Structure 1
Amino acid sequence: MGIAVNGVEITDEEIELELPHHKDAANPVKQAVHEVVLRHLLLQEVERLGLDQGNEDSDDVRIEALFAREVRVPEADEAACRRYYQSQQERFSSGAMVEARHILFQVTQSAPLDLLRETGELILAELQAHPERFEELAREYSNCPSGAVGGNLGQLSRGQCVAEFEQLLFRLQPGELAGRLLETRFGLHIVQAQRRIEGTVLPFEAVKAQIADELQRQSWQRALHQYLHILVGKANIEGVSLDGADSPLVQ
């Protein structure tokens, strides 16, 4: 059975054109199908609401006009911003640094993710029992150039490494070994924080606008997820099971 949205068939050509945009997704074909189906659904809603009006705007502009009309969220007030500031002060410190080391297990064709995970878990267990072996095991197993110096990455400040690595690293106490493998686009990491230099927390007024933008973005994404779920729930979608939030449209 083919794929259709409210009786309008999705062609293989449309999916093939969309596919290159999702080559890095875990399941590129599934992601491309979801994106095409959602785009059809949204453009049908544009037409139903009369937002098209016969102009020559691109599909993206039409969809943005639909979102502007249908997805609205209140601005973050000062009280909400202050609560966020108090709960996330580590994010708003200036000059904080952590001396870190890691062991990287890089995904390759000859070393698939499952095999790397199994190896990583064994090495992590060994380090939990014998932390003094970190440098030795980093030199033997790490696929990062830092392996040659025992996994030492030097002093890292915020913004110098990928977000998921930074989030984990700055939560660790000096000397603490993360109790799980960390997965990033580079592979799997065993992470240990060493010496830590605390920074100065920026005053609320200096980051108020940044916080308001972040809270506004989060609220808008939640509202958009809800809106897409409602549209999907009302639509007659054949040939595919679609989660309305599973789309780059909501990023």
Structure 2
Amino acid sequence: MIQVNNATISESALMAEVQYHPADSKRAATLKAAESLIIGELLRQRAKALGLTVKSELNSASDDDFLDALISQELPIPTAGDEECQQYYKLNPHRFASSPLLEVSHILLAAAPEDDKARVEAKILSEQLISQLQQGESLATLAKHYSACPSKETGGSLGQISRGQTVPEFERQIFSAEPGLLPQGIESRYGFHIVFIARKVPGKLLPFSAVQQKIAEYLNEKVRRKAVAQYIHTLIVNAEIDGYDFKLSDSPLMQ
């Protein structure tokens, strides 16, 4: 049982709430549920103190209604202007550029993620084949013989690739590389890739006018989240809570 000022959160209410907070353990889920119910109760109490319409039942699904009403009355939140948006745009150009284009060929040495022996063998073979390519061997020829990818029928060519078209572990490596033969194989969920980048066309920065609205929305939401977290933290600090200790919580509200 948890006491929040003059209100009680029963064990049955806590157990009913747990289902909405999946976690790695029952204890972690119970802690999250307790925090949610306590915060919801604090919001209800504050709303009632201000004369706002509140519901009596404990239900985290309705907390947003209280929060929106409280924000409107007690928490004026500034919005981002043109100057703030322009500054964010200038400091984060990589966020507003179109994807680079890469012209890529590869050889896939297949190895299942759970097959350690096959992984080791694929890595060793990738080193051997890279050495052959460095000495002038044809990638198309080696792809035809060794690659487990259908692209072996076209000399290993994957054509032009932009971000989001390949698996993340492969994408991270190729988009940070320069044109040419990569000196080491890239490990992915499929095995090891021997990669040759024939051409790299840099992405183009989108004009500010095209992204200004998205920047404003992002900055406004960021400010709102911070303000709301501080507001809830203040409610917690000023409340009398028995049966739960927020000091033991890893919630960002208590950081």
| Counterpart Cα distance in 2 of 1:94 and 1:51 | 47
Q: In the alignment, is the contact (CA less than 8 A) between 1:96 and 1:197 conserved in 2?
A: yes
Q: In the alignment, is the contact (CA less than 8 A) between 1:97 and 1:199 conserved in 2?
A: yes
Aligned to 2:3: 4
By how many angstroms is 1:70 displaced? 2.3
Residue of structure 2 aligned with 1:82, choices 79, 86, 102: 86
Return 5+ residue gaps in structure 2 as ranges: 131-147, 150-157
| Counterpart Cα distance in 2 of 1:237 and 1:104 | 55
**Map of 1:1-251 to 2, 5 A cutoff?**
2-24=1-23, 27-52=28-53, 58-97=62-101, 132=127, 157-158=162-163, 172-174=176-178, 195=197, 197-242=201-246, 246=251
Q: In the alignment, is the contact (CA less than 8 A) between 1:229 and 1:245 conserved in 2?
A: no
Q: For this pair of structures, how many residues does the alignment match?
A: 212
Q: 1:131 to 1:64 in 2, by over 3 A?
A: farther
The DSSP-based 3-state class of the residue aligned with 1:4 is: strand
Aligned to 1:183: none
| Counterpart Cα distance in 2 of 1:97 and 1:34 | 47
> Which has more radius of gyration?
2
Two-structure CA RMSD over aligned residues (Å): 5.0
Letter of the structure 2 residue corresponding to residue 49 of structure 1? L
Q: 1:240 to 1:172 in 2, by over 3 A?
A: farther
The DSSP-based 3-state class of the residue aligned with 1:45 is: helix
Per-residue CA deviations over 1:148-206 (Å, capped at 9, x if unaligned) read: 76xxxx776455689x97996698444599xxxxxxxxx9xx9x998554211100111
Letter of the structure 2 residue corresponding to residue 75 of structure 1? T
Q: 1:9 to 1:80 in 2, by over 3 A?
A: same
Worse-superposed segment, 15-24 or 77-86: 15-24
| Counterpart Cα distance in 2 of 1:165 and 1:210 | 28
Q: In the alignment, is the contact (CA less than 8 A) between 1:93 and 1:201 conserved in 2?
A: yes
Q: 1:210 to 1:54 in 2, by over 3 A?
A: closer
Per-residue CA deviations over 1:42-79 (Å, capped at 9, x if unaligned) read: 111111111117899x5542332112222322111111
By how many angstroms is 1:20 displaced? 1.7
Q: 1:211 to 1:131 in 2, by over 3 A?
A: farther
By how many angstroms is 1:90 displaced? 1.2
Letter of the structure 2 residue corresponding to residue 221 of structure 1? R
| Counterpart Cα distance in 2 of 1:55 and 1:240 | 21
Aligned to 1:114: none
| Counterpart Cα distance in 1 of 2:70 and 2:90 | 36
Q: 1:210 to 1:50 in 2, by over 3 A?
A: same
Aligned to 1:115: none
Residue identity over aligned pairs, in percent, reads 28
| Counterpart Cα distance in 2 of 1:105 and 1:40 | 50
Q: In the alignment, is the contact (CA less than 8 A) between 2:4 and 2:241 conserved in 1?
A: yes
| Counterpart Cα distance in 2 of 1:170 and 1:229 | 44
Letter of the structure 2 residue corresponding to residue 21 of structure 1? Y
Q: In the alignment, is the contact (CA less than 8 A) between 1:169 and 1:193 conserved in 2?
A: no
Q: In the alignment, is the contact (CA less than 8 A) between 1:92 and 1:202 conserved in 2?
A: yes
Q: 1:77 to 1:60 in 2, by over 3 A?
A: closer
Q: 1:28 to 1:74 in 2, by over 3 A?
A: same
Q: 1:59 to 1:211 in 2, by over 3 A?
A: closer
Q: In the alignment, is the contact (CA less than 8 A) between 1:176 and 1:194 conserved in 2?
A: no
